[in-house]
Structure 1
Amino acid sequence: MAENNTSQPIISVECVIEADGWPREESLRDLALGAIEAAVQEAGASRPIGLTVMFTDDESIRDLNARFRGKDKATNVLSFPAAAVPGSEDDSYIGDIAVARQTVAREAEAEGKTFDHHLTHLIIHGFLHLLGYDHETPEEAEEMETMERRVLEGLAISDPYA
């Protein structure tokens, strides 16, 4: 959890490892929190934010993709925005991100990226979806990808779209 000060909201990231082969939980938590803190700063978010990042495998993400998006295939990252709770004033929990280890590893290798850099990008990508960014139209894609590039540049990670 990030400490609160006048310029940075409290950020709570829960990491759930549900598949074998992932790095240690502490390493994943540090990577996820660093990625999300950088995205929060770039996006100018000012309210408390809570989310869960699930580190899973191709089989599980394929099931999630089929059930929630109607696409019966594995993918690298999925985002699930939290539904508003009627009568609740606490809107800090924004949703869940699921990431598939095998797909991340395959893509990183195919694209000549380190696993950690590609994973960082995908967590940022998923997080921006939770903030409402999308890439359904060319204009939306350009806005979201520009935001991703700026966040990654601040983390000394190369442009993933170059």
Structure 2
Amino acid sequence: MIDTPTVLTIDLRIEDENWTSALVDCEKVIESALEAAAQKMNQSGLVEVLLTNDAEMRELNSKWRGKDTPTDVLSFPSEGADMPGMQTFLGDLALGLEVAKTDADKLGRDFELHVMHLLVHGFLHLLGYDHMSEEEAKHMEGLEAQILAPLGLPDPYGDAA
């Protein structure tokens, strides 16, 4: 058996320039979190990431989830068939700045580490993981903790979170 390294391509779009001051190096943070998730899950492919604001997140959340409120992260898994010879498109992730910052402050977390958690959480959704039942939530939370630990984030669901 040949062990092939995962190859993840990230297409980043910064819709709200406030992200560039909130995170010193957006690209590095996103790449670190998503590469760690891809490695742990042995998953290759393309992920599109949108960094935006509460207004756009509210629109997206309303349109796709029927919830007229902004949120921190949304995942849109790919539903299309892969084209032969093309990289697998895993889906889109959208992050809202204001809710993410507010949540990080409430939790007493470093903003960069909180964003990494949101990215890993969203990435797992792209792969079909969910937290609708208690059993699913425990499994997904365990994976998140395993992926995030080497990045310097303690278990986001532990007592210290």
TM > 0.5 fold call: yes
Q: Which runs of 5+ in 2 are unaligned?
A: none
TM-score normalised by L of structure 2: 0.89
1:28 is aligned with what amino acid?
C
**Counterpart-to-counterpart distance in 2, 1:35 and 1:132:** 18
Equivalent of 1:98 in 94, 99, 111: 94
* SS of corresponding position for 1:23: helix
Distance 1:134 1:97 in 2: 15
TM-score calculated relative to the size of structure 1: 0.89
CA distance in 2, matches of 1:16, 1:148: 24
Deviates more, 1:35-44 or 1:142-151: 35-44
Please list every run of at least 4 consecutive aligned residues from structure 1 whose deviation after the TM superposition is greater than 6 angstroms.
Answer: none
- CA displacement, residues 35-74 of structure 1 (integer Å, 9 cap, x when unaligned): 11111121232xx310111000011001000000000001
1:64 counterpart SS class? helix
Amino acid corresponding to residue 15 of structure 2 in structure 1: E
SS in 1 for 2:9: strand
**Structure-2 separation of matches of 1:153 and 1:12:** 23
Mapped partners of 1:91, 1:9: distance in 2: 12
The structural deviation recorded for 1:6 is 4.5
Q: Name the Cα RMSD after superposition.
A: 1.9
The separation in 2 between residues aligned to 1:12 and 1:43, in whole angstroms, is: 15
CA contact (8 A) 2:34 2:119 kept: yes
Alignment of 1:129-148 (within 5 A): 129-148=125-144
Query: Could you say which residue in structure 1 is the equivalent of 2:123?
Result: 127
How far, CA to CA, are the matches of 1:78 and 1:10 in structure 2? Answer: 23
Percent identity of paired positions between Structure 1 and Structure 2: 35
Q: Which amino acid aligns with 2:30?
A: A
* Structure 1 spans left out of the alignment, 5+ residues: none
Report deviation, 1:125.
0.4
3-state SS of the aligned residue for 1:125? helix
Amino acid at match of 1:27: D
What secondary structure is seen at the aligned counterpart in 1 of 2:20? coil
Q: 1:7: Cα distance to partner?
A: 3.9
Q: What is aligned with 2:111?
A: 115
Number of residue pairs matched by the alignment: 155
Distance 1:116 1:59 in 2: 22
1:11-30 matches, cutoff 5 A:
11-23=8-20, 27-30=25-28
How far the C-alpha of 1:140 sits from its partner, in A, is 0.6
Mapped contact 1:133–1:144 kept (Cα < 8 A): yes
- Residues 26 and 106 of structure 1: is their aligned pair in 2 closer, same or farther, counting only changes over 3 Å? closer
Determine whether 1:50 maps to 2:58: no
- Alpha-carbon shift at residue 129 of structure 1 (Å): 0.4
